[in-house]
Amino acid sequence: MSHSDIASEREITARAVNSFAHTPDARLRFLLQKLVGHLHNFASEVELGEAEWFQAIQFLTATGQKCDDVVRQEFILLSDVLGLSMLVDAIEHRNGAEATESTVFGPFYISGMPDREYGENMALIPGNASLITGCVRDITGKPLAGATLDVWQTAENGQYSGQDVTQPHGNLRGRYHTDEHGRYAIRSVVPVSYPIPTDGPVGQLLDATGRHPWRPAHLHFMLDAPGHKRLVTHVFNDDDPYIDSDAVFGVKDSLRVVYQPRGASDPLASQFDIGTDFHLASFDFVLDTTA
Under rule CB under 8 A, residue 76 binds a copy of itself:
yes
Ranges within 138-197 binding a copy of itself (CB under 8 A): none
Assess contact for 252 and 264: CB atoms under 8 A. Answer: no
What are φ and ψ of residue 175, in 5° steps?
-110, 110
Least separation in angstroms between residue 284's CB and a copy of itself is: 20
Task: Indicate the residue among 93 and 175 with the shorter CB distance to a copy of itself.
Answer: 93
What are φ and ψ of residue 33, in 5° steps?
-65, -40
Select the residue interacting with a copy of itself from 29, 175, 183, 229 (CB under 8 A).
29
Select the residue interacting with a copy of itself from 46, 70, 165, 291 (CB under 8 A).
46
Distance CA 73, CA 40 (A): 27
Under rule CB under 8 A, residue 117 binds a copy of itself:
no
Select the residue interacting with a copy of itself from 90, 146, 261, 273 (CB under 8 A).
90
Under rule CB under 8 A, residue 28 binds a copy of itself:
yes
275 φψ region: left (φ > 0), alpha (ψ -120 to 50), beta (else) = left
CA angle 40, 41, 42 (to 5 degrees): 90
Helix axes 74-81, 84-92, angle to 10 degrees: 80
Under rule CB under 8 A, residue 207 binds a copy of itself:
no
Under rule CB under 8 A, residue 241 binds a copy of itself:
no
Under rule CB under 8 A, residue 35 binds a copy of itself:
yes
Under rule CB under 8 A, residue 34 binds a copy of itself:
yes
Buried b vs exposed e over 35-70: b needs ≥16 C-beta within 10 Å? ebeeebeebeeeeeeeeeeeeeeeeeeebeebeeee
Under rule CB under 8 A, residue 49 binds a copy of itself:
yes
Ranges within 51-70 binding a copy of itself (CB under 8 A): 52-53, 57, 60-65, 67
Select the residue interacting with a copy of itself from 98, 126, 169, 211 (CB under 8 A).
211
